[in-house]
Structure 1
């Protein structure tokens, strides 16, 4: 099982405190060719918690691992019960000011691409094009037998029909869309198989302990090679899946800027870290660059 990462390296490395000026970010964006790498921190203002900040979900929740999901029918029942309940909240989340600002930067031609570690799809809902979902998306489901892909909303309908009246009170919702439920609350929840071949269904996401597909990694590395600079938004960069792109950019002599309230594992590679809330920080950047940001859309009915 994958161990929970810790942030003990921050104190040991004596990393400098972040700045509260967004001017460096505005300067880099104005030059164009910026590759955005976003993490869970950009979605917290949409009501989706992050993993590693103080009070983040890792302090109370161990995410499902790939090994557990594949190896245990009981683990799959627990996952789908919790995920089915969490989907009701997760699926209603709306883009916040940070997502809308990133989309505005893209429309203005300042970005070379967007890589997100998130599985919530909020960048796309906000209007960003060509987003590379490094860890997949909770909006899709794949069959481990036939390889078929289907929409999560279709599975939600099937799970509702198979589990009438399933509506326990969750203690919280996690970044992976998983609701905190006890084994007693999970009870005898019924998992449904692939509608085509009867195989095991899995969310189209990279679980803890599972590798990001190599072709996706290479696609991201190519984006880094093509970019003029890298802008990290709301990621602690604790896991290698995101940190490797920061290291690649720094080794190539490309500026790396980070907007994250807490220290990150990539701070030593960055020219600056802006320690401000993402929504307000990116809105200020948009104002400085005179870039219009779309207003908040009304929530779905």
Structure 2
């Protein structure tokens, strides 16, 4: 078979879309999903919807508020944007680091343990798949617990940076959480961003080795996913017999390209998500249902 030509690192960005009126969507049930997946090895592609039951809101779910994530260009080119981001992140990461895997994460880990799931490609940065016990995981968009210097390339832990930010901004967290407000009460986004209005007085920390700009080791909108990571993800799709998409609207090409790749390879595709996804016309079966309960049922039946 001739290799399928594919773009290596399309830009991770928002795109508006609607299903064409004549799109054929094969809606089905968990029974239909089991019939498609039974006896096959599976690569799972997960999105923010798999972590909502862990207390991390998604970007585009039916009940999600409108969000306007910061772009890579804004972050690298404007000191005020960076100050605003780090102030909000300093609150938001406190919430994400306290979250725990839910039954959906554990279901995928159990399926991997049994040899049913070959691996997980996740668009999430929360590391909950790893915490649940999944071993073969590709964190497509990076991970929230590490920070990289854009000048010297040094990588430090987010926990270490938190200590430095606390020292530079004494009383900041207390001022945000005054009046009995807790971190859990603040609106949080999946990338550990938090809704904090007053950030002009916040002092970001430079790299302690070279004085350069620090950035979360997360792929921003408008930034490319590293080529090597994309290649590993394509290989993971190729190594399995079927693709299971869980909790992703596939709005951005960063995730949709793997669904398109599986379709070109004529691999069965099962999508589990509440609401439409951009990959629905390519699905063998689309299950419009909650991710956690569906994955939990699949682990009992596959």
- TM-score, with length taken from structure 1: 0.89
1:166 offset after TM fit, Å?
0.8
- Is this contact kept in 2: 1:34–1:228, CA < 8 A? yes
| Whole-angstrom CA distance in 1 between matches of 2:32 and 2:112 | 18
1:117 matches 2:123: yes
Q: 1:5 aligns with which of 2, 15, 31?
A: 15
| Whole-angstrom CA distance in 1 between matches of 2:40 and 2:163 | 43
1:213 is matched with 226
1:172 matches 2:187: yes
Q: 1:47 aligns with which of 47, 50, 55?
A: 55
Q: 1:56 aligns with which of 61, 64, 85?
A: 64
2:273 is matched with 260
| Whole-angstrom CA distance in 2 between matches of 1:28 and 1:193 | 51
1:11 offset after TM fit, Å?
5.8
1:288 offset after TM fit, Å?
2.3
SS at match of 2:224: coil
1:104 matches 2:106: no
Q: Which moved more, 1:280-289 or 1:125-134?
A: 280-289
- Is this contact kept in 2: 1:28–1:34, CA < 8 A? no
Q: 1:247 aligns with which of 238, 255, 260?
A: 260
SS at match of 2:81: helix
SS at match of 2:152: coil
Residues 95-124 of structure 1: CA distance to partner in whole angstroms, max 9, x if unpaired? 111101000101111111110000111100
Residues 134-163 of structure 1: CA distance to partner in whole angstroms, max 9, x if unpaired? 100111111111111111111111111211
| Whole-angstrom CA distance in 1 between matches of 2:199 and 2:186 | 13
- TM-score, with length taken from structure 2: 0.89
2:208 is matched with 195
- Is this contact kept in 1: 2:147–2:215, CA < 8 A? yes
| Whole-angstrom CA distance in 1 between matches of 2:148 and 2:229 | 17
1:159 is matched with 165
1:78 matches 2:84: yes
| Whole-angstrom CA distance in 2 between matches of 1:209 and 1:173 | 21
- Is this contact kept in 1: 2:118–2:136, CA < 8 A? no
- Is this contact kept in 2: 1:49–1:174, CA < 8 A? yes
- Is this contact kept in 2: 1:193–1:201, CA < 8 A? yes
- Is this contact kept in 2: 1:15–1:263, CA < 8 A? no
Residues 176-234 of structure 1: CA distance to partner in whole angstroms, max 9, x if unpaired? 1100122xx11311111112222111000100010111111111111122221100000
SS at match of 2:256: helix
1:282 matches 2:291: no
Root-mean-square deviation over aligned CA pairs: 1.9
1:287 offset after TM fit, Å?
2.1
Q: How many residues align?
A: 283
